[in-house]
Chain A
Amino acid sequence: DADVTQTPRNRITKTGKRIMLECSQTKGHDRMYWYRQDPGLGLRLIYYSFDVKDINKGEISDGYSVSRQAQAKFSLSLESAIPNQTALYFCATRNSGGGDTQYFGPGTRLTVL
């Protein structure tokens, strides 16, 4: 089984709808991240969480919210989806122990019509 899973893998929705993307991990890592990836813009950090009670905004948090339900679960919500939120979304995890790196989920392709 994959260490970092994301659901759904693909989603098409309409402008104004509320959408939730979910991420689960079995790596036991304390840090979790949400990114979006757009052609020509690379990976951009939306939100990150160092533990269940520590949630921080990334560089592009407007229009998004998150919830860290448990150490292993981190969900991303779009309260009222708009077409420019069409992108590939990745969850990632990382251990706060020194020198470790980041592991990515398989991604969710979101299309907002």
Chain B
Amino acid sequence: QKEVEQDPGPLSVPEGAIVSLNCTYSNSAFQYFMWYRQYSRKGPELLMYTYSSGNKEDGRFTAQVDKSSKYISLFIRDSQPSDSATYLCAMYSSNYGGSQGNLIFGKGTKLSVKP
């Protein structure tokens, strides 16, 4: 079993739809969770960052972490064509030295929002 599983899609939705992107993980030591957005031919850029369980909202984006289920989600409300990109989840267990601090990435979900 991979440490982080993410459905690669592709996912195609109409403009204005609510999008739900998800990752599951196996390592219960993960504490820090991130979502990156990657446009075609660009480097990933940080979108959301959460620590431990709970929700975090930033504009149209909501990140949700359920550590008991080892499941994280990213919700996009009122999706726009400009949201079309690949979304990667990432997580790590500790920032205190060693490889535990290295980010573990999901493979990414490709999202297309149609006008």
- Do B43 and A107 touch across chains, with their CB atoms under 8 A apart? yes
In the A-B complex, the 6 residue pairs with the smallest Cβ-Cβ separation, listed nearest first, are A42-B107, A104-B43, A43-B105, A104-B44, A98-B95, A106-B43
Closest Cβ–Cβ distance, residue B105 to chain A (whole Å): 5
Which A residues lie within 8 Å of B97 (CB)? 50, 96
**Beta-carbon contacts of A24-66 to B below 8 Å, as 1s and 0s?**
0000000001000000111101001010000010100000000
Which B residues lie within 8 Å of A104 (CB)? 36, 43-45
A sample of 24 cross-chain residue pairs with beta-carbon separation below 8 angstroms, ordered by A number, consists of A4-B43, A40-B107, A42-B88, A42-B106, A42-B107, A42-B108, A43-B44, A45-B102, A48-B102, A56-B99, A58-B102, A90-B43, A96-B97, A96-B101, A97-B95, A98-B95, A101-B34, A102-B90, A102-B103, A104-B44, A104-B45, A105-B43, A107-B42, A107-B43
Query: Chain B: which residue is nearest A6 at the CB level?
Result: B43
- Do B51 and A106 touch across chains, with their CB atoms under 8 A apart? no
Which A residues lie within 8 Å of B102 (CB)? 33, 45, 48, 58
Which B residues lie within 8 Å of A40 (CB)? 8, 107
Residue picked from B34, B43, B44, B107, most chain A C-beta under 10 Å = B43
Which A residues lie within 8 Å of B8 (CB)? 40
Query: Chain B: which residue is nearest A56 at the CB level?
Result: B99
Give CA–CA (A97, B96) in the complex, Å: 9
Counting CB contacts under 8 A, is B41 at the interface?
A: yes
Closest Cβ–Cβ distance, residue B21 to chain A (whole Å): 14
Query: Chain A: which residue is nearest B2 at the CB level?
Result: A42
